A and B are shown apart, each in its own frame.
Chain A
């Protein structure tokens, strides 16, 4: 199995709601990271998971949380949605180590109204 798959591809939520985004990592990749990409901007690092534990976090509030499962799939959860959370959320997986490079999914487009 190759590639990183994300679901759903598009999602519309109301301000204040909670959302869960899902990612299936590339086979053999035990490191997963999540990024938020606002329209017209570069992706911003949210957090990274390695072997089911968070091992790095960007400048995002605690209402952004995640999980990684033994099969290396992962979730991004966002509570108390705000309008500014509207963005493309990208999942990326890699083997451990620096400079390996990530394989990115096509993302989930979240719209908060």
Chain B
């Protein structure tokens, strides 16, 4: 069975600081997908990034970047130059044939 752990319950930063959200996953599958979603107070989960298990290349997309390391089963997410609008709960998830297993979330507070 899949399991996703987000050890950071809540993080507070000052605007323009960089922040990294940690995610550790467990799966017995060789093929899987990892996601990061953002949940603002409105409740809707907003897709941020996706990575499949065969592609460990780390990328940058605007202010977002991620570090996928299969050897340590980690999929960390970094926001560069954080903004107040980034304040939300962030969820890491592992997808096994469209059944998502979510972590418990990290609440990010970005203060002006």
Q: Using a CB–CB distance below 8 Å, which chain A residues touch chain B?
A: 31, 33, 35, 40-45, 48, 56, 58, 88, 90, 92, 94, 96-107, 109
> Most chain-A CB neighbours within 10 Å: which of B37, B100, B102?
B100
| B50–A99 CB distance below 8 A | yes
Closest A residue to B91 by beta carbon equals: A42
| A42–B105 CB distance below 8 A | yes
* B-side interface size class: 20 to 34
Chain B residues positioned under 8 Å from A106 (CB to CB): 42-44
Given the known interface contacts A101-B50, A106-B43, the answer about A43 and B99 at a Cβ–Cβ threshold of 8 Å is: no
Which DSSP category, helix, strand, loop or mixed, fits chain B's interface? strand
| A103–B98 CB distance below 8 A | no
Q: Using a CB–CB distance below 8 Å, which chain B residues touch chain A?
A: 4, 6, 31, 33, 35, 37, 42-47, 50, 52, 91, 93, 95-105
List 5 tightest A-B contacts by C-beta distance, closest first.
A42-B102, A99-B33, A104-B45, A106-B44, A107-B43
How distant is the Cα of A107 from the Cα of B97 in the complex, in angstroms? 22
| B47–A103 CB distance below 8 A | yes
